[in-house]
Amino acid sequence: MKAYKEMTREELLQEKAAMEAKYQEIKAKGMKLDMSRGKPSKAQLDLSNGMMDVLNSSSDMVCEAGVDCRNYGIMDGIPEARRLLADMSEVPEKDIIIYGNSSLNVMFDTVARAMSMGVCGHTPWGRLEKVKFLCPVPGYDRHFGITEFFGIEMINVPLLPTGPDMDMVEKLVAEDPLIKGIWCVPKYSNPTGISYSDETVRRFARLKPAAPDFRIFWDNAYSIHHLYEDDQDVILEILTECAKAGTEDMVYKFISTSKVSFPGSGIAAMAASEANLADARKSLHYQTIGPDKLNQLRHVRFFKDMDGMHAHMRKHAEILRPKFEAVEKALSDGLGGLEIGTWTNPKGGYFISFDSLDGCAKQIVAKAKEAGLVLTGAGATFPYGKDPHDSNIRIAPSFPTLEELELAAELFVVCVKLVSAEMLLK
């Protein structure tokens, strides 16, 4: 195909007319599809239905600690659940606390606690004149939502194929004691799908922040969410690297089974140093009577161990892989050589990240919506919803059926071509 920018005005007008016709044709089909979030599909949910059977009225519901999971008691999680999620987090069992059904909530709580109580005895962030966070972009909108909610100033840091721009991260945290944190999705990053290089993880572990209460919010949301059996990303374990550098208090590591078992009915956890866990426990004691232990037991009885969890994730991959490949094929077939967009081909996670020509993303998303396809709002992958180039669009292929997805991808390609042609004709 000829690149759009090399086309004559006449050719572009022709292309635009053709796409306009195709757009109307697809629109007439009355699509109604929400691809705005990384939601597992029904087929994926069905994979975990067995979890509804592992506990019944005659089950033994006493955990390894000898406590009846139906009653009060145990704040940190039952031993068998701590072990399973510690294995999933690649940390020792003692370094993890099991929380409720959402790691987002654990992250919110952790920021909230820092705001009101301070981190490990330091001044509460809420009493400081200003608090800043580094935000690798594009990134996860709900991370940025938490820091925006608490009035924390967010500073964009480019996310490179190797992870955040570490030259910039190192310089900023060393210079500015008001920078108290950074949001990271180190593996199969949301939305670009990249994984941090060993060098990036090591540089994180060796950061020398000006603020003693600076913390890395390491959201390992897609730690075992591979698409391919024979081509997987592996990242260094951050707490181990920190221990080598003597910086183990600098990291909060988050994990959950939301996209392993059931979103909203999973279990979440935080792994951290002894000092950081002790700091969290001081609040937890006042905050809750403890998370749902029966749901912890349900997860352990269903998955048994990491082998069980990996086997389960392979079934997810069987369902997800064709969907990612269908979108990638549609993009490649429809846009290859046109030079009006680039996209990622991730090896895991939940998203494909698309970059249009500057100034086109909002219009592409609007066009898709007009034809019945709801995408993640353009700008959502940036703090304050402001994409400086108006070019990034997050594509979430998991929820639709393959058939729906193929039509959605076709529509998306048409929208990109149409909006790009219009832009170039201006």
Nearest Cα to Cα of residue 356 among 416, 421, 285, 269: 416
Q: Whole-number minimum distance, CB 257 to a second copy, in Å? A: 12
CA atoms within 13 A on the CB side of 23: 22
Output the CA–CA distances (angstroms, integers) from residue 42 to 28, 232, 237, 399, 407, in the order listed.
26, 25, 32, 8, 19
Q: Whole-number minimum distance, CB 140 to a second copy, in Å? A: 12
Output the CA–CA distances (angstroms, integers) from residue 16 to 21, 53, 329, 423, in the order listed.
9, 55, 22, 10
Q: Whole-number minimum distance, CB 357 to a second copy, in Å? A: 32
Q: Whole-number minimum distance, CB 134 to a second copy, in Å? A: 19
Closer of 253 and 298 to a second copy (Cβ): 298
Closer of 190 and 363 to a second copy (Cβ): 190
Q: Whole-number minimum distance, CB 52 to a second copy, in Å? A: 5
Closer of 136 and 291 to a second copy (Cβ): 291
CB atoms within 10 A of CB 62: 14
Positions in the binding site for a second copy (CB under 8 A): 37, 39-40, 42, 45, 48-53, 55-59, 68-73, 100-102, 104-105, 108, 112, 115-116, 126, 142, 145-146, 148-150, 258, 262-265, 283, 285-295
Closer of 30 and 264 to a second copy (Cβ): 264
The DSSP letter of residue 270 is E
Measured between alpha carbons, how far apart are the two ends of the chain, in Å? Answer: 22
Distance of alpha carbon 390 from alpha carbon 393, whole angstroms: 9
Chain-centroid distance, C-alpha 111:
18
- The set of residues, in sequence order, having a beta carbon less than 8 Å from that of 361 and lying 6+ positions away, is 378, 379, 387, 390, 391, 392, 393
Closer of 32 and 285 to a second copy (Cβ): 285
Strand partners, 374: 34
Q: Whole-number minimum distance, CB 192 to a second copy, in Å? A: 22
Place of tokens 């955990």: 63
CB 110 within 8 A of CB 180: no
Closer of 19 and 78 to a second copy (Cβ): 78
Closer of 27 and 37 to a second copy (Cβ): 37
Q: Whole-number minimum distance, CB 142 to a second copy, in Å? A: 8
The pair of structure tokens assigned to 372 is: 């019945």
Closer of 347 and 394 to a second copy (Cβ): 394
Q: Whole-number minimum distance, CB 291 to a second copy, in Å? A: 7
Q: Whole-number minimum distance, CB 234 to a second copy, in Å? A: 28
Q: Whole-number minimum distance, CB 262 to a second copy, in Å? A: 4
Distance of alpha carbon 213 from alpha carbon 230, whole angstroms: 40
Closer of 145 and 334 to a second copy (Cβ): 145
Strand order in the sheet with 153-160: 96-98, 268-271, 251-256, 215-219, 179-184, 132-137, 153-160, 163-164
Closer of 185 and 416 to a second copy (Cβ): 185
Distance of alpha carbon 201 from alpha carbon 215, whole angstroms: 14
Place of tokens 């048994």: 304
Distance of alpha carbon 379 from alpha carbon 61, whole angstroms: 47
